[in-house]
Structure 1
């Protein structure tokens, strides 16, 4: 059985848990993370020197970085629409996963941490800039969803949706001025029929 080190309130842990749900993989959660069990201890840092969750243990295999873990699980499971075998189709999925990890996450971090986590590391100007950047990045997503008419990488749910839906849900839940993005709103409604969406993108999981 897979062991996932982390906590369900972590957006990055939820990526991995949702992927396991969609692949029907058995797993157990070992509680780690801020407010639960401090990962800045030798025991944990021997697994991930960054002292961040999640960490995956699969037998003797140890992996960190949530998007990498999701890719590994999908590849491990074999033929799955979550990560197509075709080189170009897979690259399309991974392109949007990388965009989520670099562009989208970077945009929302100051606003989210200040408004939802109470961080005092960001002043009002930094928060306002973050809100603007976040909406700009979400407009890119809206245009992509309007183009596909369904999910991020095309007609089927993929890992791109797992990671991006969590960030889109976070955008919707954060008390900011939201850009009008009809394709994103339709997308989130569409995802309500996907197993695991209600659990990992519910009102109690910003």
Structure 2
């Protein structure tokens, strides 16, 4: 991520407990290379049994084919530990998912693949979803550094994000590389701990 800001068309799927099998069915995770996992994103919702698009599904309509930000219901990404669920979202072009809560493993997988998973209050998620439903093609702006989501200057919402995951996103780091950015603090803690508890450190 070269910029701390994510701006783009927002879509909403305000449904709780959307699991990883709904995001991408297991049969579409096999013998497939990046970056074409998006063809199976929300497969059962986007396509009929014969493979034709469901015209009523939001992401099959303009301007939502170009969705960059998705506002979802609570516990998004629950279920099996399927990294391909994140790949499908990223390959579609989605850069940020906003929800009151996420499946734990899915949440970690997001940051390892450059996708912002922004946790907001239930009331904020509801307000964002309603705004998207009321204005076709509504654009949201998300600021990773400030941990804010803006509909307008008068409507700003905070989201939860720890410093480690923020560093991972802003500087395209994996968990190890992000941890190493804090090496001075880690070594300082170890030094202080050795002084406080010398019996812990082997000689």
TM-score under structure 2 normalisation? 0.25
Higher strand share: 2
TM-score under structure 1 normalisation? 0.24
Higher helix share: 1
